[in-house]
């Protein structure tokens, strides 16, 4: 029978099986807990038991002080429950809570998922996973090449494996480096995280996500995080692309729609040629389906990625249609 863990001071709670550590169960449930090594070495996951019993505490190299021990201090990555628990633990909730980190990662996968899109997977060392919030971005640093900011396209619940979606751009040397030179097992440094395009975890309003091309990356991170949090207020994902094969994770999106009653997925590909200078106007034109699908936009939260300068126009359009400006979050990261 699962137990319940309640975190103080936030009051967040989640279920835990007796064979899981508090950290494992908390990350699976989408909690933004502080941790690094998951193995009892760093001390970053230190919390305090306020109420409840532990079944076991696995061996750890990090030494808790006597004061910590007598106050109920425990490493969450080593502790398994024997009852419901109330714990005191630090959770990231704002971008400014998170220190800037620079981490050397290893490339574990480079996969071309569409003609012009590469999926890049990086692995951090176990001892220094990336602390970040879903939807944020980091700087990718390669020797001799101008650094580029890229959104993390995966969930903080698995911060050792980071996914990025990269577009082929012949005019951008970083893109060419990813497409032409980078190999599996290569090293790539990351610095960050940056940005405030994050989930409003306190909101119970239904959500409309609008992704444009590889702007799907941070939207995917947000959705995976919302799924981990078991948000059930309803979500409609619109993925608008500039190319026929632009929905490079279409099946993955459909699996969300199949798995969750309250999840709707609408893919909007391009079936006619649009000149590059008309892409922004074309995006705004295709956004009109949102108004047709939802007669009243006033009660929704919006998360929007859009082409270039269209981001402010997209926001203005949503407000014109009745959305509350304070409930619209836009990702203004420039995508190359
Ligand atoms: S995460 Fe490092 S000791 Fe728990």
Tell me the per-residue pLDDT of 217-227, one tens digit each, with 9 for 90 and over: 999 999 999 99
Atom of ligand 1 nearest to the CA of 46: 4
Q: How far is residue 127's CA from residue 283's CA, in Å, rounded to a whole number?
A: 43
- Answer whether 331's CB lies under 8 Å from 304's CB: yes
CA dist 73 → 4, 50, 79, 89 (Å)? 19, 9, 11, 10
Q: What percent of the chain has pLDDT over 90?
A: 83
Atom of ligand 1 nearest to the CA of 127: 2
- In this predicted structure, what is the pLDDT of residue 336? 64
- Higher pLDDT pick, 128 / 79: 79
The answer to whether residue 243 scores a pLDDT higher than 90 is no
| Residue range 88-138, pLDDT digits in tens | 999 998 999 999 999 999 999 999 999 999 999 999 998 889 999 999 999
Which residue, judged by its Cα, is nearest atom 3 of ligand 1?
Answer: 40
Bridge partners of 141? 189
Cα-Cα end-to-end distance for the chain: 49
Length, in residues, of the chain: 336
Mean pLDDT of 231-260: 93
Q: Which of 121, 137, 136, 276 is nearest to 186 (CA)?
A: 121
- In this predicted structure, what is the pLDDT of residue 48? 96
Measured over the CA atoms of residue 79, residue 80, residue 82 and residue 86, the dihedral's sign is positive
Per-position DSSP letters for 186-201, written without gaps between them: -EEEEEEEE------T
What domains sit in the chain, N to C, each tagged with a CATH number?
A: 3-88 (3.10.20.30), 95-194 (2.40.30.10), 207-330 (3.40.50.80)
- In this predicted structure, what is the pLDDT of residue 239? 97
Task: Report CA(23)–ligand 1 centroid distance (Å).
Answer: 9
- In this predicted structure, what is the pLDDT of residue 263? 96
Tell me: cis bond preceding 193? Omega within 30 of 0 counts. Answer: yes
Strand arrangement, sheet containing 328-330: 263-268, 235-240, 207-212, 301-304, 328-330
SS3 sequence, 243-279?
Answer: CCCCCCCHHHHHHHHHHCCCEEEEEECCCCCCCHHHH
- In this predicted structure, what is the pLDDT of residue 308? 79
At 335, the pLDDT band (50, 70, 90 cuts) reads confident
- In this predicted structure, what is the pLDDT of residue 194? 96
CA dist 246 → 2, 40, 214, 238, 241 (Å)? 42, 43, 8, 13, 5
Q: How far is residue 30's CA from residue 156's CA, in Å, rounded to a whole number?
A: 8
Atom of ligand 1 nearest to the CA of 77: 4
Q: Which of 263, 26, 295, 253 is nearest to 157 (CA)?
A: 26
- In this predicted structure, what is the pLDDT of residue 177? 94
Atom of ligand 1 nearest to the CA of 38: 1
The answer to whether residue 143 scores a pLDDT higher than 90 is no
Mean pLDDT of 200-215: 95
Please enumerate in sequence order all residues whose Cβ is within 8 A of that of 22, keeping only pairs 6 or more positions apart, or say none.
5, 16, 47, 76, 77, 79, 80, 81, 85, 87
Pick the range with the lowest mean pLDDT from 81-90, 197-206, 273-282. Answer: 273-282
- By most ligand atoms within 8 Å of CB, the mutation choice from 43, 92, 125 for ligand 1 is 43
Q: Ligand 1 pocket: which residues have CB below 6 Å?
A: 35-38, 40-45, 62, 75, 77
The answer to whether residue 1 scores a pLDDT higher than 80 is no
Its pTM stands at 0.93
Measured over the CA atoms of residue 248, residue 249, residue 251 and residue 253, the dihedral's sign is negative
Atom of ligand 1 nearest to the CA of 37: 2
Task: Report CA(177)–ligand 1 centroid distance (Å).
Answer: 35
Mean pLDDT of 277-288: 88
Task: Report CA(128)–ligand 1 centroid distance (Å).
Answer: 10
Task: Report CA(45)–ligand 1 centroid distance (Å).
Answer: 5
Mean pLDDT of 52-59: 90
The answer to whether residue 20 scores a pLDDT higher than 70 is yes
Task: Report CA(162)–ligand 1 centroid distance (Å).
Answer: 19
- In this predicted structure, what is the pLDDT of residue 278? 84
Q: Give the tokens for residue 111.
A: 């996969």
Atom of ligand 1 nearest to the CA of 62: 3
Task: Report CA(59)–ligand 1 centroid distance (Å).
Answer: 11
Bridge partners of 74? 47
DSSP H or E stretch at residue 123: strand 117-123
């Amino acid at each position: 029978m699962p137990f319940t863990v309640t975190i103080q001071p936030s009051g967040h709670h989640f279920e835990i099986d007796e064979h899981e550590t508090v950290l494992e169960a908390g990350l699976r449930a989408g909690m933004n807990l502080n941790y690094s090594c998951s193995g009892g070495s760093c001390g970053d996951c230190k919390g305090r038991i306020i109420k409840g019993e532990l079944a076991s505490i696995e061996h750890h190299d990090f030494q808790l002080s006597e004061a910590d021990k007598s106050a109920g201090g425990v490493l969450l990555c080593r502790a398994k429950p024997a009852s419901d628990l109330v714990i005191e633990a630090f959770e990231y909730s704002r971008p400014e809570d998170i220190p800037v980190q620079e981490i050397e990662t290893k490339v574990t996968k480079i996969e071309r998922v569409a003609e012009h899109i590469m999926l890049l997977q990086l692995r951090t060392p176990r001892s220094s996973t990336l602390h970040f919030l879903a939807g944020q971005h980091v700087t990718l640093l390669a020797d001799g090449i101008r650094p580029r900011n890229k959104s993390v396209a995966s969930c903080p619940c698995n911060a050792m494996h980071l996914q990025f979606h990269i577009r082929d751009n012949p005019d951008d040397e970083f893109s060419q480096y990813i497409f032409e030179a980078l190999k599996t097992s290569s090293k790539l440094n990351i610095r960050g995280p940056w940005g405030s395009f994050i989930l409003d975890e306190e909101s119970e309003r239904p959500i409309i996500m609008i992704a444009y091309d590889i702007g799907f990356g941070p939207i995917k991170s947000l959705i995976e995080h919302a799924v981990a949090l078991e948000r059930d207020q309803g979500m409609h994902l619109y993925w608008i692309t500039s190319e026929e094969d632009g929905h490079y994770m279409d099946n993955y999106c459909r699996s969300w729609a199949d798995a969750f009653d309250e999840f709707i997925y609408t893919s909007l590909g391009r079936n006619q040629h649009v000149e590059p200078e008309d892409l922004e106007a074309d995006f705004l034109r295709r956004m009109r389906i949102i108004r047709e699908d939802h007669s009243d936009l006033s009660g929704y939260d919006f998360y929007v990625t859009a082409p270039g300068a269209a981001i402010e126009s997209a926001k203005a359009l949503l407000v014109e249609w009745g959305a509350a400006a304070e409930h619209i979050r836009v990702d203004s990261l420039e995508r190359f």
